[in-house]
Amino acid sequence: MAPRSADAWARVLAALRASPAAFVARAGAEGLAAELLSELRSERQSEPTKGSLLSVIMEFPTQLWPDPTAAEAAVSALLDTLALLPPRPAALRRPLLLAATSVLAACGALAPASAATSRLLPVLLRAASGRATGQEQRALQATACECLRELESCRPGLLAGQLGLLRALQDSRATQAHCLLFVITLRNALRALAQVGPGAPAGLHGLLVARTDRPQGGEIQAWDWSLEAPGAQWPGLWDWTLAGEDIWDPAVPLGQEGDWAEPGPAPLDLPPPEARELRAAVSQLLDLSYLLTPPAQAQMLQQLSQVLRAVRGQPPALLKPQLVRLLGTARVSLLHAVLAAKDTFGEALFTAQDEALLLRRLVGAAQHPALPSPARLFYLHCLLHFPENWPLGPAGEEGTPVLLTPSLATGLLPSLLQDPPDLLARLHLLCLLCGEELSADGSRDCQGTEDRALGYLQRLLASLRQGAAQPGAPRSSVTLCFRASYLATRCLASHPGALAQLTKGLAELYQARPCLAPHFVDLLEQAREVLAEPLGKALQQVAVAGAGGAQALQWHLQILTKVAGAQPLGPTLGFLWAALGQGGDWAWEQALLGTCRALLRGTELSGAGPRDLANLLQELARGLDDPDSRDRGRLYYSLFTHLSGPKLGSALGPTRSTPMLGSSLVEENEGFASALTVQEAQAPLQLRRVSRQAKEPPVILGLTVEASETLYSLELRFRILGPYYEPLKAVQVPCLRPGASPKLLLLPLEPRRPYPALLDISVLYATPSGLTCYAQLPSLPIAFADLFLPLPPSSPQVTHPQTFHELWASCLPGGAESCMWGPWWGQALETLVTKHWEPFVMSATPPTSYQVAIRLPPSSQLLLQLEAAGEDGVRVALRTDDWAILPLAGEYLRGLGATL
């Protein structure tokens, strides 16, 4: 296959990013990966193009190399490409290191027996330990440290044997990359030593003083751009003794892992000399933290907190100077690190005065008008989850901090003028304050608290409900009202008096706007038993009263379906009898039957309820207009009168309270249900392209379809990916039999723009056994040449050469022109024109000169003048009235040249 151009690679990478799984399945992972690696070593591609290829490798390593063995070979190929770079600054050196690390880590190829691992780790260490003097060298050094951190995160303890070297680099370089690499290696080494126990080959002192791979003379080697000579091997084997599996949560960003996974090893007991050496290393890192960026400082503080927790007897007071400095910080990342340290060490590191100061700091920042909304939301979140030294409630229970008094939180009251996220966060805090107020004064009647927090909360919720009740209220107002109601319900669940007023207000809202029934159904689903009884009863009363008239009938049926089984049966049956007399369309009948089905699946019926429900079902089986609806009503009546409660619930579908039973009825119905379901299968069909040349619009795409087994009632559905074509109608084929003549399908294409595309094809068909199947067929490309049409015939008095010259002149100045060279000698030009452009030739002097005019729907044209230049090939001049198709025409012509 001919090498792709930069534009072609840009389109390929865009298609890959749009749908990685589908593209790789269509193109083949092995072939695409091999082409990517080959293009990286090609001299025809520019460095920006190669950088784009490497970025795709970093984004989709697991799709390109799903097998670890293939991934290891890919890493070796990337390292070979790295070794071939000239010994001078090159833009590809850093992306190559990142790509090799990504493939090795993501594809499971990082292992002791991996040859690629044995090559990559020394290369990264050599790049990280060189003496960097220039900007390019420092950037490469930082990249190598980042790659080592990534590998250390994947296999904690991998670099434990290099801890002495990393400490020496951190002492001599003191760069941010070296500090972060050393601290994560130290943390993981302590964890690994605790897991190994007394059987560890070396203690912490041995790891810290070891200088693995130290150059002669004790100096860090000078910078060498040749990180690895072609075919070179690093001497010695890598020490995997302390390397373990990944113990961190992969969903958490690097440096924000929090505590170790449980269960974990007990804290490590260190001898006094090693403990002193560890404290010295931690103190040195803390002293260097001033030089780091705020996110790096936060990451280092969290990891040093884990280091101190991993060793028994290490005082957290080492962190105190840094935390005192950061109590007044305006950096969100640093404040988050302070709160994480407070959550970890509590009163061992933070006094009551520190806690009060930090709380006032959060309260002030949460209401600061100059801060952006995301920052204020962060401070409110910290208040809602504030790590107290001595929390009063049980662990995991929501509550406001003890020191957050109502007077201190006055400035945090929610208002209708605030943004919805800000309002909801403040409302959450207010609800928690109200819950604590009611718990402290539970004996007092709620009606007398209008001047306190609960009164403010009730007035705010009433205002939100009033806004949602307005006719034509925006969806955002309705959503905000229900989210606020849910927060109030969750926080005040243990206070019936407050819930009673909330329930009354919600019932009035439903009475004013029954069209909000889906929101009420969702609220009942989320609130569960807290609101199921009071709100369900209130909504049932509003629904059976018929608020909103006949237009609201469908919404009332949704509410009654939701509360069926939890509320009395009589009012619902009375409403259904009244609704049956009004009549309606098929959708109305289905909603009515759905409510009946919910009643059948509800709780046990007693008294006159079963008889009334049976009469209703019998009337539905006789009185509904649609035959399907009558059959469904008759089925419900038969099931209700012949099955007991548990079997009836199982036959109508399992619920939380009614599990699926293994009865004979269910077993017999399983095959019947599967027969009614569309089955996904591999279609025994084969589609082929047929060459057809249309003489006038529309463009016709010819396909033939054959079947390897008998199929009935086929419906082939076509969808052109992208926005550049009009939708295609489905094609019905009554029957296909094996051995019969292929069925010809003619698809009219109506391009909005004359661009290539991909035709997605699926089919729905019936088998002789009665099953209905669905299958996805291989996609077919719509090429640029498939859109070619000849120009409409001109007047008999006008010759073709004259017409072509008029068209050629009319393309400019509004269009575009270009010229290129074609590798066609001798009779090749005549063969090319005869094979591809014969219907479009307007004038010719065979075999040296041709004038070709092509029409591209909907309204573009492409003109070609081909002049043979002896043994030098063919000069091709292009003109078009649409500049956007010029690159497509150039790629099309280059493709023709590659095929000859």
Residues 823-849 have pLDDT tens digits of 887 778 888 888 888 888 888 888 788
Percent over 70 (pLDDT), the chain: 85
Q: Judge whether 117 and 104 are in contact, CB under 8 Å.
A: yes
What residues contact residue 380 under an 8 Å CB cut-off, 6+ apart?
366, 412, 422, 425, 426, 429
Torsion of CA 405, 408, 414, 420, to 10 degrees: -100
pLDDT at 355: 86
User: From CA 166, how far away is CA 772, in angstroms rounded?
Assistant: 65
Label residue 395 by pLDDT band (50, 70, 90): low
Decide if pLDDT at 246 tops 50: no
Q: Is 673 exposed, middle or buried (0-12, 13-18, 19+ CB in 10 A)?
A: exposed
What CA–CA distances, in Å, run from 169 to 132, 181, 385? Answer: 12, 10, 39
222: β partners: 131
For residue 794, the model assigns a pLDDT of 61
DSSP 8-state symbol, 695 = S
Contact yes or no for 721/680 (Cβ under 8 A): no
Contact 321, 304 (CB under 8 A): no
**Prediction pTM value:** 0.63
pLDDT at 34 over 70: yes
Q: Could you tell me the pLDDT band of residue 147, with boundaries at 50, 70 and 90?
A: very high
Strands 772-782 vs 679-680: parallel, antiparallel or unpaired: parallel
863 φψ region: left (φ > 0), alpha (ψ -120 to 50), beta (else) = beta
Residues in contact with 883: Cβ distance below 8 Å, sequence separation at least 6, in sequence order: 815, 816
Report pLDDT for 662: 42
**Highest mean pLDDT (candidates 27-31, 85-89, 548-552):** 27-31
- pLDDT value for 73: 93
Count of C-beta atoms within a 10 Å radius of residue 652: 18
Q: Is 614 helix (H, G, I), strand (E, B) or coil?
A: helix
pLDDT at 225: 45
Average pLDDT, the chain: 81
Sign of the CA dihedral running 240, 242, 245, 248: negative
Quote the pLDDT of residue 265: 62
The pLDDT of residue 799: 55
439 vs 677: CA distance, rounded Å: 54
- Any idea which of 255-269, 518-532, 668-682, 728-742 has the lowest mean pLDDT? 255-269
Distance of CA 581 to the CA centre of its chain: 49
Q: How confident is the model at residue 603 (pLDDT cuts 50, 70, 90)?
A: low
Least confident of 233-237, 448-452, 787-791: 233-237
Other beta carbons within 10 angstroms of residue 466's beta carbon come to 16
Chain centre to alpha carbon of residue 8: 27
Contact 866, 831 (CB under 8 A): no
Residue 699 tokens, joined: 């463009």
Two tokens at 566? Answer: 């939890």
For residues 522 and 330, the model is more confident at 522
Q: What pLDDT is attached to residue 245?
A: 54
pLDDT, tens digit, 9 for 90 and up, residues 326-359: 887 888 888 888 888 888 888 888 888 888 888 8
**Cα–Cα–Cα angle for 281, 283, 288, rounded to 5 degrees:** 95
Cα 785 from Cα 894, distance rounded (Å)? 13
Task: State the average pLDDT over residues 67-91.
Answer: 88
- Enumerate the β-bridge partners of residue 555: none
Least confident of 77-86, 701-710, 863-872: 863-872
Weakest mean pLDDT among 94-103, 475-484, 887-896: 887-896
CB 440 within 8 A of CB 393: no
Tens-place pLDDT, residues 112-139: 888 888 889 989 988 888 777 788 888 9
**pLDDT of 180-226, one tens digit each?**
999 999 998 888 888 776 655 567 777 777 654 444 333 444 444 44
Residue 553, burial from CB neighbour count under 10 angstroms (0-12, 13-18, 19+): buried
Cα angle: 537, vertex 541, 546; to 5 degrees: 150
Q: Is 802's pLDDT higher than 80? A: no
From CA 1, how far away is CA 8, in angstroms rounded? 13
3-class secondary structure, 470: coil
Instruction: Report the SS3 class of residue 474.
Output: coil
- Residue 806 has φ and ψ, to the nearest 5°, of -65, -45
Name, in order, each residue with C-beta under 8 angstroms of 195's C-beta and a sequence gap of 6 or more: 244, 265
For 835, other C-beta atoms within 10 Å of its C-beta total: 11
Tokens of 466: 């009033």
Q: Average pLDDT in the 667-689 region?
A: 68
* Residue scoring higher pLDDT (225 or 373): 373
